[in-house]
Structure 1
Amino acid sequence: MVKFISPDKAGLLSTVLESILYGFSVLMFILTMWVLIRGRGKSKINIPMVVVSMLLFILSTIHIGVDINRLNSGFIVYRDSFPGGPAAWFANPSEKSFVFKNAVYTLQTVLGDGVVIFRCYKVWQSFWIIVIPCILWCGVAIAGSGSVYTCTTPLADPTSIYALQLGRWIKAFYSTTLACNFTATALLSYKLWSINKQVAATRVGRGVVLPVLLIVIDAGVLYSVTLVAALTCFALNSNGQYVVLDMVTPIISIAFYLVILRIGVARSKTLSGSAVSTLNTTMPRLPLSRTDGNNRMKIQIDVEQEFDQETREEYSVKGSRGHAM
């Protein structure tokens, strides 16, 4: 069995790295709330995104708090009293703090994957498109709940997280969340790419769709690479998975904040300086429509963090004037 690092050392290293990433996520959370709230009346604030941002921050804060407390418990409180010492204590999957922090991680994963699916639906405007991601999302919730529950049962091996029953649930959890995130991100990216391709011939400049596409891909790759690393470590029975597992929690928040912040920065640049005078030539009209035979299909770009309704209407009006001139 390949270990690479002992459970107690993995616990210490994972908490240090998680703390660093958590610090970045706190800064990004503050900036995200500023982008979502600044200069907007109550009716224009995107309440769902504000709520999700706060929930992700709260969950990641709880997770890092539990991990810091686990260091105190494993290395100080139970150092001499727990059979096998700190290494055995940190390796025990039935320990209450371990069960609790993994329940928090499961909730955060379900929330993060749900947001990606929601974005996919808002762009496609079709429930049929998100059927497979939703099925995978349900699988994430079931596998995550199953792994947490198995840790609390008498069947759980108190000496290893790689025990047969628990190991199957954890592998299923990593696999389904990776598949869910990849599928939803791929569908979202394809739709944005196809829309950008449709308006490329009638647009001067780079437009707004392509930057959004690149932002979505960046966030999806960041999260997916971390999940692949976690799944690989677990498949190899490496305790390095403890390190990656604790890093995933703040990364989920960072990936979410990243999308909002980069679009917010792009929006600010677009609305400043000479960009305002050229909106009618550099921005595609929203929503976009095209004729397919006798049927008219309306494709609406609705990435909720991108532009508020007033800005969309301004683009639409200026775009119409630009085409009329």
Structure 2
Amino acid sequence: MGIPLDKAEFLALFLGTFFYGVFLTLYWFMLFVILKKSGIQRQILLPVATLLLCISTAHLIIDFVRALEAFVFKVDALGADAYYSDLTSPLYIASTALCVTQTILADGVVVWRCYMLYNKSLLVAIPGCIVLLANGATGCYVIWSLSRPLSPVASVCIVIFDSLTLFNSVTSTILISWRIYRTRRFLPEGLAAFLPVLVVVVESGTLYATSMLMLLLTFLIGSNGQYVMLAVITPIVGITFCLIILQVHFHVGGNPPTEQRTEARGITSLIMQET
């Protein structure tokens, strides 16, 4: 027997709040790092990180409002389980829309990163944009379909959206990792210096991809755990974004020996595309 819907939503609120706290902490650390940078790091990364935080904040506020209505204000008239079962609720639609927006925004940044790392190659940009546009269209249809009874077509679109997001995360992580490896592999010192950065990229990509995989699997088996994953995906997107910036900075930052500083700057430029 699976977890009851009301308990799943309560757990989702708890874990969503926990991961939001992690995201908020990492955001402030990242803010101190980014404000010391210049060029594209402040022009692109800081606004994106701030927007991800705003979306996560709005998502958490909606989850708290829904919890208050389910467990306090409407508990006698409707009941928590019946309240959360109403997928046509405006608050639930708004929460889902924020989650979809968060993932598409993060995927867009990743596609842009691959495009920049591969010297603005259209061979990387065009397939990435096609997947991103398809995902955006599918996400919009899913949000629109929530205003009416969930149809088999809508269920298929949810699977497609989660699958495309997972595909984009995995392929982008592989492309970025391969680019770093190919650039530094012939330099012994550079190879040793690039390994921590490669680990950062793979670990962060794995965190996001694993979350999307769990969301997809719980939806396919019809588990209420999907609502838990929906709550934590939004802050995890921001956590992944901040982790890459922070871990790259601290792995290659600080005060390394003089002979290693050039290598460190080169690796940082690969990931962050400094200008």
- TM over 0.5: same fold? yes
Pick aligned residue for 1:117 from 111, 121, 132: 111
Percent identical among aligned pairs is 27
Answering whether residue 77 of structure 2 is matched by residue 81 of structure 1, we say yes
Q: What corresponds to 2:52 in structure 1?
A: 56
Larger Rg computed on CA atoms: 1
Residues 16-71 of structure 1: per-residue CA shift (max 9 Å, x gap): 01101111110000001110003x56x68621101001000000010011101110
Paired residues, number: 274
Q: Quick check: 2:111–2:129 contact (8 Å CA) kept in 1?
A: yes
- Please report how far the alpha carbon of residue 98 of structure 1 lies from its aligned counterpart in structure 2 after TM superposition: 0.3
Q: Quick check: 1:63–1:101 contact (8 Å CA) kept in 2?
A: yes
Answering whether residue 177 of structure 2 is matched by residue 177 of structure 1, we say no
Q: What corresponds to 2:88 in structure 1?
A: 94
- Please report how far the alpha carbon of residue 248 of structure 1 lies from its aligned counterpart in structure 2 after TM superposition: 0.7
- Please report how far the alpha carbon of residue 191 of structure 1 lies from its aligned counterpart in structure 2 after TM superposition: 1.3
* Structure 1 or 2: more helix by fraction: 2
Q: Quick check: 1:122–1:301 contact (8 Å CA) kept in 2?
A: no
Q: What corresponds to 2:192 in structure 1?
A: 206
CA distance in 1 between partners of 2:2 and 2:68 (Å): 23
Q: What corresponds to 2:221 in structure 1?
A: 236
Structure 1: 5+ residue runs without aligned partners?
158-162, 288-299, 310-325
Q: What corresponds to 1:4 in structure 2?
A: 2
- Please report how far the alpha carbon of residue 7 of structure 1 lies from its aligned counterpart in structure 2 after TM superposition: 1.4
Q: What secondary structure, in the 3-state scheme, does the structure 2 residue paired with 1:5 have?
A: coil
Q: What corresponds to 1:133 in structure 2?
A: 128
Q: Quick check: 1:56–1:108 contact (8 Å CA) kept in 2?
A: yes
Q: Quick check: 1:227–1:248 contact (8 Å CA) kept in 2?
A: yes
CA distance in 1 between partners of 2:45 and 2:84 (Å): 36
Question: Residue 33 of structure 2 aligns to which amino acid in structure 1?
Answer: V
Q: What corresponds to 1:293 in structure 2?
A: none
**Higher-RCO chain (CA-CA 8 Å, sequence separation at least 6):** 2
Question: Residue 25 of structure 1 aligns to which amino acid in structure 2?
Answer: F
Q: What corresponds to 1:216 in structure 2?
A: 201
- Please report how far the alpha carbon of residue 118 of structure 1 lies from its aligned counterpart in structure 2 after TM superposition: 1.3
Question: After the TM superposition, which residues 1-325 of structure 1 pair with which residues of structure 2 at under 5 Å, given as runs?
Answer: 4-38=2-36, 40=37, 46-82=42-78, 85-125=79-119, 126-153=121-148, 156-157=149-150, 163-200=151-188, 203=189, 206-207=192-193, 209-269=194-254, 272=255, 275-279=256-260, 283=263, 286=266, 302-304=270-272, 308-309=274-275
CA distance in 1 between partners of 2:50 and 2:264 (Å): 32
Structure 2: 5+ residue runs without aligned partners?
none
